[in-house]
Structure 1
């Protein structure tokens, strides 16, 4: 299967152009932010407030050397705090106008989180094959997030099965390729700001697209990630000078 899609000449520019053309227009200002958050909650994504970047590109939390600046919930109780209640989300958004928001995975939805280049290639292949793809968000730190149905919830213990790709906040570095955010994990939900100039998390396919079964995406995503990691390894072993 890989041989059909091995050529990359001009691919990244083509996909980037396609994504820019498909990106949903995100309204500016607090009103647009609040509307997008309410849309996410209306689609069933449970939300909770998260940290945000400060003017010096650091994290708004008071932790010295925060390992995930602007990417983590404000409360340690985020799993029980996460909600789709529109009134609560409106209060949070208005009382904490700079806050990002996370969505807790594994209750209604999961997220398949892949390196940006591999994700763009996989997205083109999925759409070209006529496979239903749900909402997709792009994170400017180099990841593409595929939102899917969850494999199971705490109420459906018999329907939940573990996977070696399962990713939790404390194990993210262990999954440089595909990360499967399910029960006990979270991701930033658009619109979110990241440290750095004009860095953000934004939708490239909006919430009007139904959540698909994750297994329908998994083969193409894992194939793209395997070749992406293989190419990264080839570059690392090619004798190029290493950065210091």
Structure 2
């Protein structure tokens, strides 16, 4: 598995003869790392999404089933069955179970990643998307033992609120992201979500990355002329 994973991370040809094997290998590596997976839509001609919804607001970026939270699994046999029966499907990973995702604009993410690695900070799996986002996978803070300790945060991001968070989005309980390898609609058909750092890297605590990410997002927002408060939200979660 490691050889195939390395070939994908180095940009192996997705049209090659082992493309489907490599796709399954990457999905299984993600599941082995603890990412619960469920099938998602994929790009299609016409409306851009394989689902039946006319004018789908998130083409090829949403789960197939409304029961995706309970359906999500790390079970190897189930993931292999899904991949075999739905060869074109993307997959999502449900956040807030075992992991969260800090989701930032691509340029801000690249800047923050460079700074974090240069400072010797342990950075976990990182993916980048051709729709201009970078995803930092972390341990979750979304399932406290004491439900009274559950904290709301303006950075929390759910699928229906992503447009409200152009800066940093914190995907925790009730949200999801596409997991590599995934295909996106638009362009010449080669838009993807891919690993920059693979799922073999241990998940860090989210707060070890948050300050660097919010600082990079603030600089990015200033350069783009966006309102900083709207683009980044508060830097730290607040308890109620």
Normalising TM by the smaller chain, what interval?
Answer: 0.7 to 0.9
**Pair 1:84 & 2:69 matched:** no
**Pair 1:208 & 2:200 matched:** yes
1:163 aligned to 149, 153, 159, which one?
153
Q: Deviations over 1:59-85 (max 9, x none)?
A: 000101000000000001100000001
Q: Structure 2 matches for 1:55-94, cutoff 5 A?
A: 55-56=45-46, 58-94=48-84
Gaps of 5+ in 2: 1-7, 227-240
TM superposition score normalised by structure 2: 0.85
TM-superposed CA distance for 1:160, in Å, is 3.5
Change (3 A) 1:106 1:189: same
Q: State how far apart, in whole Å, the 2-side matches of 1:40 and 1:156 are.
A: 28
**Pair 1:225 & 2:217 matched:** yes
* Contact 1:151 1:159 (8 Å CA) reproduced: no
SS of the equivalent of 2:223 reads: helix
* Contact 2:109 2:216 (8 Å CA) reproduced: yes
**Pair 1:151 & 2:141 matched:** yes
* Contact 2:69 2:174 (8 Å CA) reproduced: yes
Residue aligning to 1:178 = 168
Q: Structure 2 matches for 1:5-44, cutoff 5 A?
A: 24-25=9-10, 28=14, 29-44=19-34
TM superposition score normalised by structure 1: 0.83
Across the aligned residues of Structure 1 and Structure 2, the Cα RMSD in angstroms comes to 1.7
Of 223-232 and 103-112, the range deviating more from structure 2: 223-232
TM-superposed CA distance for 1:164, in Å, is 1.1
* Contact 1:57 1:195 (8 Å CA) reproduced: no
**Pair 1:188 & 2:188 matched:** no
* Contact 1:115 1:178 (8 Å CA) reproduced: yes
In terms of Rg, which structure is larger? 1
* Contact 1:135 1:208 (8 Å CA) reproduced: yes
Runs ≥4 residues deviating over 6 A = none
Gaps of 5+ in 1: 1-22, 235-244
